[in-house]
Amino acid sequence: MLKRLIEARWVQSLVARYDLSILERLMLARHDFTARHKLRRVFGRGADPYQYASSCYELTRFSRMAALLGGRRFRSALEVGCAEGHFTKTLAALCGRVTALDLSEAALGRARRLVRQPHVTWVQANVRTWQPEESYDLMVMAEVLYYLPPPSKGPAYEKAFMLFLERLLARLAPGGLLLLAHGYGTAADLAVREDYGQRAAGLGLRRLASERIGEQPHDKGMLYCLLELFEKPGA
């Protein structure tokens, strides 16, 4: 039975696509370690390090993200990289259940205090390796994908990124929505943001809307944002 499973064509093709060598795993683990260290430093500086409560860019971005959801209601949502819960609060009002996931324990501690709602479940995990156990009819990934090992950096990174994306999007229910929102300051950054959406489309999601927020002052200079809404066909 086990032998038959191992020899099955679909198992073989999965292994060929996704099995990472020890060296590749070490490279990815190093990237995760560096990202974790950076985030510990950022959230260790004190509450609201990204100025979500006051930055013109962030407030505009959150309001456009909410507008793109168009007042729809959702059974169950997943927010990847919820940070201190500023957008989780909006999601909690629109969704029957929210799973809000972040790598940073410090950020999650503040998020729990900001959004005291019993239908929000907080998860501390690295989304790159996290295994979702249920399906969601909304997924939100905002200002988070560029923290993951960049797929352009080499075949191991490419494989790991697609493994993460496929694993996650497999848990988006038919008819479910994916909202992406990532800021950029340069044309090169915009190309990376567009690439996220192209990968989602390549995995069969249908683009419902795409918009850009124009120049907004930010402490790192001028920032723009690409927001995209996708639907998984098959409802």
Ligand X SMILES: C[S@@+](CC[C@H](N)C(=O)[O-])C[C@H]1O[C@@H](n2cnc3c(N)ncnc32)[C@H](O)[C@@H]1O
Binding interface with ligand X (CB under 6 A):
35, 39, 50, 81-83, 87, 101-104, 107, 126-128, 142-144, 147-148
**What is the residue-wise DSSP string for the chain?**
-HHHHHH-HHHHHHHHHH---HHHHHHHHHHHHHHHHHHHHHHHT-S-TT-TTT-HHHHHHHHHHHHHHTT--EEEEEEES-TTSHHHHHHHHHEEEEEEEES-HHHHHHHHHH---TTEEEEE--TTT----S-EEEEEEES-GGGSPPGGG-HHHHHHHHHHHHHHHTTEEEEEEEEEEEEESSHHHHHHHHHHHHHHHHTTPEEEEEEEEEEEEETTEEEEEEEEEEE-S--
Least distance to ligand X from the beta carbon of 83, Å? 3
Least distance to ligand X from the beta carbon of 178, Å? 14
Residue 48 or 195: the one with the smaller Cβ distance to ligand X is 48
Residue 28 or 205: the one with the smaller Cβ distance to ligand X is 28
Residue 58 or 137: the one with the smaller Cβ distance to ligand X is 58
Residue 49 or 203: the one with the smaller Cβ distance to ligand X is 49
Least distance to ligand X from the beta carbon of 170, Å? 18
Residue 6 or 29: the one with the smaller Cβ distance to ligand X is 29
Least distance to ligand X from the beta carbon of 53, Å? 11
Closest residue to ligand X, judged by C-beta, is 81
Least distance to ligand X from the beta carbon of 97, Å? 18
Phi/psi region, residue 226 (left: phi>0; alpha: psi -120 to 50; beta: rest), is beta
